[in-house]
Each structure stands twice: as structure tokens, then as C-alpha cells.
Chains A and B, each alone.
Chain A
């Protein structure tokens, strides 16, 4: 627990005295983070991009370590700008919300600190803690923190909340195999604050995704959909596309609300490769690293344009 400076303590006490128990102190997360935390943040990104942006030579570990050590304001700003530009290269979970166009992004997003402010988006960072069990002899409880980058993009009708996917890199920080006991905060906890005032809701992307499917720009190889009395699913053999192999079933499923599905892109979107989407809940997941980070955006734009 951090000891608060006397001046800050005074304001907290005043706030509590006036019943403002929800007042949250804004702690500079990126600045106050340890070198290890900043290094773990940089570890999320390809070494080639780190090298090009920071002009540091060496292995990925050495490059990330060198950059992370410097806590000067100018360097922190450069780290923030790098994470902002390189975020689309990560595996990502994107939650899309419909809004009335009046949403204004603030410095604090559910406890996350805004580290980049642009005209159409903001980049935030929050400390995410994983509680794990190390499967050593004997098994041991342990925990590890990460700086979790979250980018919120504001469009006319939609808000895009992008979370970098951290999970895959966690075992690499332990000598033994691990199992994750808990993690906090979750994506749901973070996005719940957006939904709180009732002007923002999960976007329904069924129309947009089905339009791309009709144009043969995508085909599904893993599907879930709602039926009146059940939730049905289909996993295609050898990643074959449903529409190509069974057009009649495709027609029938297109009348249903789709849940989590995996699609493979074709035609103009072929470079995007494979992605997952839960159109009914406004979720898109990129489960592979992107080569240049641009193709996923083209896909999202198409889905939203047709929605």
C-alpha cells in the first residue's frame, strides 16, 4: 500500500468527511510502475517495432529493459506513443458499443490512467494482477502484475474498446508450469463503467457481419447461434467454410442471432486471416498477431459500415 503525500491525504479526508466515498485518487500508473512492469508492457510488442521506434540494439529483453529503465517524462511519453501506435499489432479483444455521439473520454477510465489523448481516441493503462499457482514441488501461490493497455476509440455511432490480450505471455514469466487462479480487473469490470449511465450499450453487429458473409468476404468455420429453445453450435471439419460446403444451412443460420463464431477472410479482406466475433454482444477478437496491424481495422470498418 502506497503512503499518500500529506496534501493528498488531507483532500481524501475532506472527501470522506463530506460523504464522497467514491472519490478515486488518480495515481500516475505508468510513471510509478516498476522497471519490470514497464518492461513487461514493452514485451507485448514485436522486437522489430521496438528497435525501429527507440533505436536501441540488442535482444528483445535487452531492448525492452533499456527503454523501461528510463523514467524521464520524455521517455514515458515516447513509450505511451509507441504502445498507442503498436497496439493493433497485438492479439486483441475489441468490445464495440453503440452510443449517442456525446461520449467524452475522461482522464480516468475505471481506474485506468490516460496516457495518450488524440482527437478520436485515448490510450489508457491499468495495472492487472494475476494470482497463479506455480505447479512446482510443493505447489506455491504467486502473483504477477502487468500494465494492461486499453485503447478507446470514439466514432460517430460507436465506441471501440480495445484490450491487448496478455494471457499467452504469462507462463513465460515463471520457471514452473502455472495455473491462473484469478485476474483483476477483467474486461467486463472495465467496460461495466461505460454501461453504467445507460447511454451506451453493446453494439449488435449481426447485420454488418452477415453483409460481409453475403458478399463472400468471409466464411465461418466455427459457429454458435440462438434457437428458440436452445443454443446451437457447429464446428466445421478441417476449417471448411459453412457457406461453401452447405449453402442451405448457411441461409437458415443467417436468420438467427449469432453468438461466438470464427470466420476466415477472403477476397479484399484475405490478409486479415482468421478472427472471432460475437455479433450479438458486440465483440471481435483477433487471436493472431497482425503483421502490420492495419487489416483488422479494415475489417472492423466494413462491419460497422454495413451494420
Chain B
């Protein structure tokens, strides 16, 4: 939890009003594998711009990794990587055909939407623990 504590410190330093106990509790329930700007915006009651600034600061401080996900037609993420160039060229997808039966299709990544999210680097987290202990 060392990185997550650092994330909370980052937020506190950027928010003039600091964090309430309730906000800390809500943030601790976030799934740190995939945090979106909207998660932070709605939990802290800040603007989109301020939420983005908090997350980008956390990236610069090494707390989070910024990820790019490729979005399948059903809205789920087919694959993610640290950059768009590192994404696979083709995304495998199970879709329903016109009769409602499932069929597997391969979709070119470049034709699909991308989404940015932030992820707590667990490998770094465990390293922090081992170096701390």
C-alpha cells in the first residue's frame, strides 16, 4: 500500500481542501488495476481537468502507469499496453452473428477506439515492500 499512500499524498498536495475521511475510504475501494479520470473526478467532486492533473502527477511520481486500452465493439477492453504502438495489431473478439449465434472475429486494432486509464504498478508495489522490509 506504499504507492497508494503516495497517491493519497499527491491528491492532498494538489487539493487545497485536502481529503475527507469519507473520500479516503472511497478511494481505498478503487480497483487500482484500472483507474479512469472519471473515477477520481466523481469521488473527489473536482473538475475533469483537476482529476486529470492529479493522475498525471501520480504518473510523474511513479505511482501510476498510464495505459492505453483498445475498445472492442461491445465496450470491453481487448488489450492494453503502455503505448498505442505496443498494442497487438489485431484484437480477437466473440460477436453475435445475425442469428444471435456467437462467432469469432479478428478486428484490426487501428480501426477500434482507444481509451486511457491509469494502473498501479503491482510489481513496483511489491518491490517497495521488499525494499522497505
Contacts and interface: CB of A to CB of B under 8 A. Distances in A.
Interface of A: 93, 165, 167-168, 180, 186-187, 222, 235-239, 260, 262, 274, 276, 283, 285, 287-288
Given A235-B74, A287-B103, 6 more contacts: A168-B103, A222-B94, A239-B92, A262-B102, A274-B94, A285-B102
Contact of B94 (A93, A237, A262): A262
B99 interface: yes
B100 A167 contact: no
B77 A276 contact: no
Is chain A's binding surface mostly helix, strand, loop or mixed?
Answer: mixed
Instruction: Identify the 9 closest CB pairs spanning chains A and B, nearest first.
Output: A235-B76, A276-B102, A237-B77, A287-B104, A235-B74, A262-B94, A285-B102, A237-B76, A287-B102
17 contacts: A165-B103, A180-B98, A186-B99, A222-B94, A235-B72, A235-B75, A236-B76, A237-B76, A237-B77, A237-B80, A238-B78, A238-B79, A260-B102, A285-B102, A287-B102, A287-B103, A288-B104
A283 B75 CA distance: 25
- Chain B residues touching A, range: 20 to 34
Interface of B: 34, 69, 72, 74-80, 92, 94, 96-104
Contacts of B79: 238
A238 B92 CA distance: 10
A283 B80 CA distance: 32
Contacts of B77: 237-238
Contacts of A239: 92
A210 to B, nearest CB: 19
Contacts of B100: 260
Nearest to B71: A237
A276 B34 CA distance: 27
Given A235-B76, A262-B102, A276 B94 contact: yes
Scoring A168, A237, A283 by chain B CB atoms within 10 A of each residue's CB, the highest score goes to A237
Nearest to B78: A238
Nearest to A235: B76
Given A274-B94, A287-B94, A238 B99 contact: no
Contacts of A287: 94, 102-104
Contact of A237 (B69, B96, B104): B69
Contacts of A285: 101-102
B90 to A, nearest CB: 14
